[in-house]
Homo-oligomer: A and B are copies of this chain.
């Protein structure tokens, strides 16, 4: 188990677009916020990730790498449509990194930026393209974007 401390923001500018990006495809075997179970495929690798309920920006997380062939079958078992996105990695200084998620499909038009922090009090620089914080807004949980995609908001 690890504990994930993550803050999430809307994105207002384009300054992140030059960063390297990878295509993500993910779905949920459980979207229950107390115990989400996610299947994620990135290129030729795949993971199964279980997360507990968020308490502020902190959440218990368990992650296991799984065979790609299993992930392809498990994605078909998932509840609701899959979430697809480009993830751009932007250096945040001080060893931190912004993950800017540009959603596709039914979530096209939504761009959010996440930063993982060593502890909740950790300070970080805010780039010019950073918008409002949505860390605790459940509409932006990836598990919610599967069931209630951005285009229907």
> A65 to chain B: closest CB distance in Å?
9
A66 touches B64 (CB 8 A): yes
Count of identical protomers in the assembly: 2
Q: Which of A26-45 contact B (CB under 8 A)?
A: 29-30, 32, 34-35, 37
With A32-B30, A79-B34, A79-B35 in contact, do A62 and B74 touch (Cβ < 8 Å)?
yes
In Å, the complex CA distance between A79 and B70 comes to 24
Interfacial chain B residues near A1, Cβ < 8 Å: 69-70, 73
In Å, the complex CA distance between A134 and B147 comes to 34
Ranked 7 nearest A-B pairs via Cβ: A30-B30, A29-B35, A35-B77, A1-B73, A37-B37, A52-B77, A29-B37
